[in-house]
């Protein structure tokens, strides 16, 4: 499967605060400049969360729009990916920014335990997010936190809510979800290749697992995310 | 791994109503008699949910106690297993009947999507249920609805909340959770054997998948549940 390696960057997650890392980009202007720096260093995809001025996770679609516009201006050709993740957002708020037609958006196809909460992706919400992505021409990145989530993606393809050339990201090393073990990544990749033969994939290790998961993913023929 | 085959019976789940099946045992007396019939037909374990008089799922510990007492009287040697499942119960209510010291109780070690809801097993609740089972000498049956739940069980062993001779049940065929595919059962069994070498296991296929999953489980060296 010879395809170019995508170097992705998640400029601002949903958890850390400036108190943890003073360099954390929080405002749209800071996020745009941080993305530009990563772009110049070779990153080709940016995964976007936005924050309110008090640094809590925001669901304001206008913040997503501002970051997208800035990235498009400063980083020509870079792939813009919006998060539709749940932290600090109601189910209805999670799809609100899709109307701005980013190139991609994250999409979780199942529920799973996270370090201190249940990451809830209710079955009707999964369908709604996929349907809105299809409507607005946004390519989903399926966030696979557990084995059944691959089959959640397959159900979307079968329901006509997603193209069979699905893109999956296997996320390892989240406490209470999938541990960062190479054997488990192999299991996930093998099942995805069987269930969704036309898929492409990346893998992400959280925190201290980032570089080992990137190594395993490259060895198995996947892309990486930094 | 030569061990006797356990024939288990789940006399009353949490969903069907007498309107669906007039023979459904709902009162403790009905549940005891239905269990007795299954015992005489060879069943050696009974998995118990209880219902309120209006047939909705109940969390009344006294109903669990009544069914347990009747089963012990009518079915000597039968293994009594209480459900600690979530349907119709608050997290606090799910552990209430454990003080009556059934032989076993079900324990989910992760969250997952079900046909129409998120089956929520919050990380602190999982620890609390395991801790109460240990306190009361109740052996958990780990309900594995997804791959990460095996590692949820492993974390309980490592935390000293569960014996390393864990008993797992792989549940296949629940819509939006793990599909009933033999390849997936093999993946789960293999991972459990690697992560928890001292475990024993059964497999259950839901609804129309019951007999095929039982066949796969026997072929793979597991027990079955009817
Ligand atoms: Zn710039
Ligand atoms: Zn994200
Ligand atoms: Zn009797
Ligand atoms: Zn049950």
Taking only the tens of pLDDT, chain B with its 226 residues reads 334 456 777 777 767 778 888 888 889 999 999 999 999 999 999 999 998 888 888 889 999 999 999 999 999 999 999 999 987 788 889 999 999 999 999 999 999 999 999 999 999 999 999 999 999 999 999 999 999 999 999 999 999 999 999 999 999 999 999 999 999 999 999 999 999 999 999 999 998 999 999 999 999 998 765 5
A196 part of a folded domain: yes
Please state the domain count of chain A: 1
Contact A183 B176 (CB under 8 A): no
Smallest-distance ligand from the CA of B32: 3
- Give the Å distances, CA to CA, from B110 to A85, A111, A129, B9, B170: 19, 9, 24, 24, 13
* Chain A nearest C-alpha distance from B207 (Å): 19
pLDDT in tens, A5-48: 567 777 777 777 788 888 888 899 999 999 999 999 999 999 99
Beta-strand runs (E) in chain B = 7-12, 45-48, 79-82, 104-108, 112-113, 118-119, 139-144, 167-172, 200-205, 223-225
A140 part of a folded domain: yes
Binning pLDDT at 50, 70 and 90, where does residue A53 land?
confident
The complex scores an ipTM of 0.91
CB atoms within 10 A of CB A133: 25
Range of the domain at B47: 7-225
A2 part of a folded domain: no
User: Which residue, B175, B177, B194, B186, is CA-closest to B213?
Assistant: B186
Residue B212 backbone phi and psi in degrees, to 5: -65, -40
State whether residue B72 is helix, strand or coil. Answer: helix
Which residues in chain A are closer than 8 Å to B125, comparing Cβ atoms?
A: none
B128 part of a folded domain: yes
State whether residue A143 is helix, strand or coil. Answer: strand
Which residues in chain B are closer than 8 Å to A148, comparing Cβ atoms?
A: 112-113, 145-147, 176-179
Please check whether residue A158 touches B, CB under 8 A: no
* CA A50 to ligand 2 centroid distance, Å: 10
In angstroms, rounded to a whole number, what is the distance separating the alpha carbons of residues A73 and A63? Answer: 16
Contact A112 B111 (CB under 8 A): yes
- Give the Å distances, CA to CA, from A174 to A100, A163, B55, B188, B198: 30, 28, 39, 20, 25
B27 part of a folded domain: yes
Smallest-distance ligand from the CA of B87: 4
In angstroms, rounded to a whole number, what is the distance separating the alpha carbons of residues A137 and A52? Answer: 27
Please check whether residue A173 touches B, CB under 8 A: no
* Chain A nearest C-alpha distance from B148 (Å): 5
pLDDT in tens, A122-159: 999 999 999 999 999 999 999 999 999 999 999 999 99
* Chain A nearest C-alpha distance from B168 (Å): 17
The domain that contains B162 carries what CATH number?
3.20.20.70
Tokens 């299954």 correspond to: B38
């Amino acid at each position: 499967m010879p395809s170019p390696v995508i170097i992705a960057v998640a400029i601002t997650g949903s958890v850390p605060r400036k108190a943890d890392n003073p360099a954390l980009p929080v405002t749209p202007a800071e996020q745009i400049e941080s993305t530009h720096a990563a772009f110049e260093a070779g990153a080709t995809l940016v995964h976007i969360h936005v924050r309110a001025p008090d640094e809590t996770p925001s669901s304001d679609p206008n913040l997503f729009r501002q970051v997208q516009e800035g990235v498009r201006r400063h980083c020509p050709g870079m792939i813009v990916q919006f998060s539709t993740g749940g932290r600090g957002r109601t189910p209805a708020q999670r799809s609100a920014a899709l109307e701005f037609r980013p190139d991609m958006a994250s999409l979780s196809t199942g529920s799973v335990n996270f370090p201190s909460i249940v990451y809830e992706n209710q079955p009707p919400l999964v369908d709604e997010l996929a349907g809105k992505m299809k409507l607005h021409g946004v390519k989903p990145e399926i966030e696979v936190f557990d084995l059944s989530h691959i089959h959640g993606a397959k159900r979307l393809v079968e329901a006509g809510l997603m193209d069979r050339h699905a893109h999956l990201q296997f996320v390892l090393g989240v406490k209470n979800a999938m541990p960062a073990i190479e054997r488990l990544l192999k299991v996930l990749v093998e099942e995805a290749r069987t269930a969704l033969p036309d898929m492409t994939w990346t893998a992400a290790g959280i925190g201290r697992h980032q570089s080992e998961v990137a190594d395993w993913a490259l060895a198995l023929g996947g892309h990486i995310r930094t």
